[in-house]
Amino acid sequence: MSTLDLSVGGMTCASCVMRVERALKSVPGVQEVSVNLATESARIVAADDHDIDARLRRAIRSAGYEPRAANGADALAAEPSRWQGFGPVAAGLLLSLPLMAPMLGGLWGQDWMLPPWVQLLLAAPVQFWLGARFYRAGWHAARAGTGNMDLLVALGTSAAFGLSLWLWWRAATGEHAGHGMGMPHLYFEASAVVITLVLLGKWLEARAKRQATSAIRALQQLRPEVAHLVGPRGVESDVPLAEVMVGDRLAVRPGERVPADARVIEGHSEVDESMLTGEPLPVPKGPGQALTGGAVNGDGRLVVEVAAVGSESVLARIIRLVEDAQAAKAPIQRLVDKVAAVFVPVVLVVALATLAAWLFAGAEIEAALIHAVAVLVIACPCALGLATPVAVMAGTGVAARRGILVKDARALELAHRVDTVAFDKTGTLTVGRPVLTALVPATDGEGEERRLLAIAASLQGGSEHPLARAVLAAAAARGVQPPPLGAMQALPGRGVQGEVEGHRWAIASLRWCAELGALPDAAKLEALHAQGATVSALLRFDEEAGAPRVTALLAFADEPKPEAAQAIRSLRARGLRVVMISGDNRRAAEAMAARLGIAAADVRAEVLPGDKAAQVAALRRDGHVVAMVGDGANDAPALAAADVGMAMAPAGGGTDVAMEAAGITLMRGDLALVAEALELSGRTVAKIRQNLFWAFAYNVAGIPLAALGWLSPVVAGAAMALSSVSVMANALLLRRWKP
């Protein structure tokens, strides 16, 4: 299976979305289809086939729409001019304003009625030139046996235009009694003004869509166009960014953007990563440290070695995540899709019923027809179609600026319902850099502590575990040289074993010690636990003795992140339960929980990496909506098991596995982002509900008013255009959100 993205031009309302989805689902091999009106994009999951792209494009074109290469977010992200696309609107205003003269003159008691032939000359270009798009799209919808906004506009304005011609003909042939001068009121201004107002509304929508995708546009602009390639002799030459390869050495001058993900080789500087991580302060960088493409270099010159380019770079993954979220459908959209499927047919039935009712009540044909036209014009399926996706676009864009990447719209919609937040301890609540605070030999002896530290360092020499780095750092600080290691084996959640100086040794967790029957000295163990330390044991295996012997206890301490306690207080103030999941022994885990303000009853201690998902599942079985926050590959199953997974993956670090498993990725290790993500979810869902309320309210209130004759077609057209614009504007208010 493969995922394809296509841009779909010509969609105007929720009914169009349904028609495109049906057309794409009819293509053999297509499994899933999601069409987004706000981004004008379609995401298709289909079986691998060499001509699937061509068949999908043909299906879109057969449905009456225009297939394009790039996905909608890319197309919208192109920098627009301020007045792009305003030409048809300006032409419509110039031609329609004179037709409004009689209405304006009536306010001052003046008769500014234009001759019928002048009204026709002004209205015809608007109806058949500027309004041609509505006829084309409406015809395609009618051929497909469905309806859309374009069909309603085309029918309504054509009826008003045709009625005007008929009334003029009757008056000219003497068949109309007339009013005063013998010429009845014509409705050319209604058809022209409605089309102009709809065009104006669509132009305002397009501008709002571009504002909603400004997050993607800002991220795309982080890529510099050229890089300074450093040759073998140190000579710099400018090359296009597309020609940069992994392993190249590049010079990054002061004030320039880093061209690609890289590692610093020479120089020191401070780098601004705020556009990627939301971190407001520059970060010091020196040799050996990672840089993320798109970050801004400070005052120092850096020479870097490229680590990743193109789609593998952090910036490209961030853009892809934001695009995916903005193109996805929120679950609440299912309700809108069901309504959209029947909306236009129902409106057509209501319009016909309005015409028949007025005629039955004794109204003249022109009055009955105008009321029916008002019903057609005020109905607005486009507002329904835009209500959810534009709010999701705005919400995910704001989140990206704060360093919160939303992978899918479901996570964004669900996060506000979370009542329990589960944290992995090491690296998430703590800084993730434990230090060896004590090595306590089982027996006293001169040089015994130093000898056992050397053996422990040897066992940990091939491991990347944080505790292993702590042992190696302690050995290096004391100038201890580890002996050679043979036959090393790591046992996840238990420890590591290997041969050192002809004997089999192991660094074991207390759980593994219990399984092996190797019991540490209880008094020494209790003293270390009382200090809140994480304790491991150094074991020596003796075949003659049977069970291994504990030769030393190693105590580790890891400090909580500076903001951790405040972040947890913030979550608890929101009424949320906070749970800590740790592989440490209970005493050490509870000591850390006490420092952070987590209740002992909410500590899950001595949990193996593979059992974290079971702990999350147990919380969900108890009826809780759970968010899991973790930072490593061993947290991925738990992140996937939670209702909302949040991966802490700072730019240039973290793990791809955790990011893929989580619905939300926090781009810096600031725990305050957890509460921000939950709050932003609530704000976004509130905007979705507000938009849907107003979209439904416009139609529920407007259609009956038009049917009762209380709205003219011009007012109905203005209301219809306003409904879409107001939905867009309401969603864009999210851009002002601050935590």
Catalytic residue ranges: 424
d(CA 37, CA 388): 10
Are residues 231 and 237 in contact, defined by beta-carbon separation less than 8 angstroms?
A: yes
Structure tokens at 655: 């793990």
Structure tokens at 543: 């075949």
Bridge partner residues of 665 (DSSP): 405, 647
d(CA 95, CA 131): 13
DSSP notation for 364-419: -HHHHHHHHHHHHHH--HHHHHHHHHHHHHHHHHHHHHTTEEE--HHHHHHGGG--
DSSP notation for 365-377: HHHHHHHHHHHHH
- 3-state class (DSSP) for residue 436: strand
546 contacts: CB under 8 Å, gap ≥ 6: none
Are residues 306 and 262 in contact, defined by beta-carbon separation less than 8 angstroms?
A: yes
Task: Give the CA radius of gyration of the chain.
Answer: 34
d(CA 279, CA 276): 8
d(CA 362, CA 342): 31
Structure tokens at 283: 């970060």
Structure tokens at 511: 């759980």
Q: Are strands 420-424 and 577-581 parallel, antiparallel or unpaired?
A: parallel
3-state SS, 252-305, equals ECCCCECCCEEEEEECCEEEECHHHHCCCCCEEECCCCEECCCCEECCCCEEEE
- 3-state class (DSSP) for residue 604: strand
d(CA 401, CA 416): 19
d(CA 52, CA 46): 8
DSSP structural state of residue 174 = T
d(CA 524, CA 518): 15
Instruction: Supply angle C-alpha 450, 451, 454, rounded to 5.
Output: 85
